[in-house]
Amino acid sequence: MFFATVGPTRALLLLPKLSHSIIPKSLLPSLTYKPIPPPIPNGTPFFPSPATRFPKMANHSTEISKRGHITHVIFDMDGLLIDTEGFYTQVQEIILARYNKTFDWSLKAKMMGKKAIESARVFVQESGISDKLSPEQFLEEREDMLQSLFPTCNLMPGVSRLINHLHSHGIPICVATGSHKRHFELKTQNHGDIFSMMHHIVLGDDPEVKQGKPSPDGFLAAAKRFKNCPEDFQNILVFEDAPSGVAAAKNAGMSVVMVPDPRLDRSYLAAADQVLSSLLNFNPSEWGLPPFEDAAPAQVAE
């Protein structure tokens, strides 16, 4: 077996102890020229790495090379930092059951990340109950059930490690959420240590947030409140779980890591710069952020 690269003007043969003169010169021009990588220093022919031969196994090197140097980070909250999306699903399933309808993920995907009233309009219209229940009535009914659930929410996996890491390295971080103040206080009352590390928090009822996601209002307001707001918003990394949130971040000109619920249809994932199964899988150094010093915890399969 031999490796050959031959052209009209040159012939390179990797034949041990074999002279080039064995091949008649008249044949050389007829051989197809197809470059291969040169031998590595010890003379052994170069073989492509597994990442080259099997692109799916590569460590996203092509994507990483295109990522900018991140200087600031903005976090969504519900379903990303705290596990509250299940509460919304539970309550909305109960409400729709009264009308002999089911609440599925195609509807939930359209509601996620939006302001409450915008989400409510989607709910009653898409489910076909707008003639029986107004958006305002839906919110009032839902509120009573959510009030008792929100204080019981837990942090999502990997949140504490990532927030503490970024904060300890002086990376400016903040939250931009569609939640209103009363809900934010209920949801975070047992997680003050995490949210106290945020430089600032932009809520859904903030005066500067005229429209909910996918409008960029919330993320733009959050960016402007950093002490040294970067001129290039691509240097701001947004973490999101909702399709409308990813769209809002991209509309703001920012980079986005999406951590979606596994039940979300994959057609919603294309717009994100990176998609992870969990924050446990996030590698800061891929984005120019300080690497973790401690051993990585068990990751979630992508």
pLDDT of residue 296: 66
78 catalytically annotated: yes
Rounded percentage of the chain residues whose pLDDT exceeds 90: 73
Give the span between the Cα atoms of 206 and 181, in whole angstroms: 9
294 catalytically annotated: no
**Number of C-alpha atoms within 13 angstroms, CB side, residue 218?**
34
pLDDT of residue 113: 84
pLDDT of residue 114: 87
pLDDT of residue 299: 72
pLDDT of residue 223: 98
Q: What are the b/e assignments for 83-95, b being 16+ CB within 10 Å?
A: bbbebbbebbeeb
Of the listed 78, 206, 217, 241, which one is catalytic?
78
- How is residue 22 written in tokens? 């064995």
Whole-model pTM?
0.76
Amino acid letter at 288? G
Q: What is the pLDDT along the chain (302 residues), one digit of tens a residue?
A: 444 444 444 333 333 443 444 444 444 444 343 343 444 344 433 333 333 323 333 333 334 434 778 999 999 999 999 999 999 999 999 999 999 999 999 999 999 988 899 999 999 999 999 999 999 999 999 998 999 999 999 999 999 999 999 999 999 999 999 999 999 999 999 999 999 999 999 999 999 999 999 999 999 999 999 999 999 999 999 999 999 999 999 999 999 999 999 999 999 999 999 999 999 999 999 999 999 998 667 677 77
Give the span between the Cα atoms of 58 and 50, in whole angstroms: 8
**Peptide bond preceding 37 in cis form (omega within 30 of 0):** no
pLDDT of residue 300: 74
pLDDT of residue 67: 72
Q: Which domains does the chain possess?
A: 4-52 (no CATH), 69-82+155-287 (3.40.50.1000), 85-151 (1.10.150.240)
Give the span between the Cα atoms of 139 and 294, in whole angstroms: 44
pLDDT digits (tens, 9 = 90+) for 11-48: 333 334 434 444 444 444 443 433 434 443 444 333 33
